[in-house]
Amino acid sequence: MMKLRSYGIVIVSLLILLGSCFTAAATSVSDGTGDVWHWANTGTAWSWVGNVGNKPNIDIKEISYEVNDGKITLKMEVAGTIQTSDKVGYYLWYNSTDTVYTMTYMNGQGGAYGLKEGDYLNSSYTQNVTISGETLSAVLDIVGDTSQVELWGMAVEYITFGDTTAEWWGDWAPNSKIPFTPGTGGNTDGNNTDGNTNDGNTTGTKTPGFEVIPVIAAVGIATILLRRRR
């Protein structure tokens, strides 16, 4: 009986050890559909118009990450289909306690990278961004801690890419990442004119499209690092 008990303890211990070797973590953020924002001229002034439902290809449904076996997978799912267009861009950020993992896709070209604070030469980078219908994904080597601090994404469509002086559309997930303060009614002063508390628009306090600048810069840095490692 003592031997059987000892064997049992050993077997249980081995199972626990094996389980710890294959630990995985996954987190997702869901985003409602029909909530794209439109920067438009209403006839008297430029303002944000909410609840645009005719832009499914940039209407984010879910963003997520999964950590498994030394790899991190980043994903974005939209209500329509991922577009290969010089007017559309998709971006996803996952920040851990010491590392930033990012995935980008625009004009048929994509990339993903991981940069650990203070250790940029040991970065992780891939140009293998996978498109499958409504889903965009990329797999990276883990280069730092994976404890979640922040997960968010955005999808944008421009008349001319990056030109925020003309009309453009954007969706952010979660909504707390919207780079302006939505109003509560159908005009720029934020007054609620129709009782709908989620269709407001506002001129905001930040320049529309400012988010794209650090993304482009970061992708450039990642490309330089990749060339150095070659």
- What is the mean pLDDT of the segment spanning 98-103? 94
Considering only residues 217 and 48, tell me which one the structure prediction assigns the higher pLDDT. Answer: 48
The answer to whether the CB of 48 falls within 8 A of the CB of 39 is yes
Q: Is 6 helix (H, G, I), strand (E, B) or coil?
A: helix
**Tell me: the pLDDT tens digits for 101-115?**
999 999 889 999 999
Higher pLDDT, 3 or 141: 141
H or E element, residue 8: helix 2-21
Q: How confident is the model at residue 72 (pLDDT cuts 50, 70, 90)?
A: very high
Average pLDDT on 185-192 reads 32
Residue type for position 51: N
Angle ∠(78,126,57) on CA atoms, nearest 5: 15
User: What are the structure tokens assigned to 123, written together?
Assistant: 């970065």
What does the block give as tokens for 109?
A: 């070209």
On the question of pLDDT at 116 being above 70, the answer is yes
Spatial separation of the C-alpha atoms in residues 120 and 113, rounded to whole Å: 11
| Stretch among 76-90, 147-161, 170-184 having the lowest mean pLDDT | 170-184
* CA–CA gap between residue 69 and residue 26 (Å, rounded): 12
DSSP designation for 96: E
Residue pair 59/36 in contact by the 8 Å Cβ criterion: yes
* Domain layout of the chain by residue ranges: 23-182+198-229
Bridge partners (DSSP) of residue 68 are 24, 71
Q: Is the pLDDT of residue 87 over 90?
A: yes
Model confidence over 134-165: pLDDT tens digits?
Answer: 999 999 999 988 888 899 999 999 998 888 88
Q: Which residue has the higher pLDDT, 206 or 82?
A: 82
Determine the pLDDT at residue 183: 61
- Nearest-Å Rg of the Cα atoms of the chain is 22
Burial class (CB in 10 A: 0-12, 13-18, 19+), 161: middle
- Residues 6 or more apart whose CB falls under 8 angstroms from that of 142 comprise 67, 70, 71, 72, 114, 124
Burial class (CB within 10 angstroms; exposed 0-12, middle 13-18, buried 19+) of 172 = buried
- Residue 226: the pLDDT is 46
* Residues linked to residue 73 through DSSP beta bridges, in sequence order: 66, 139
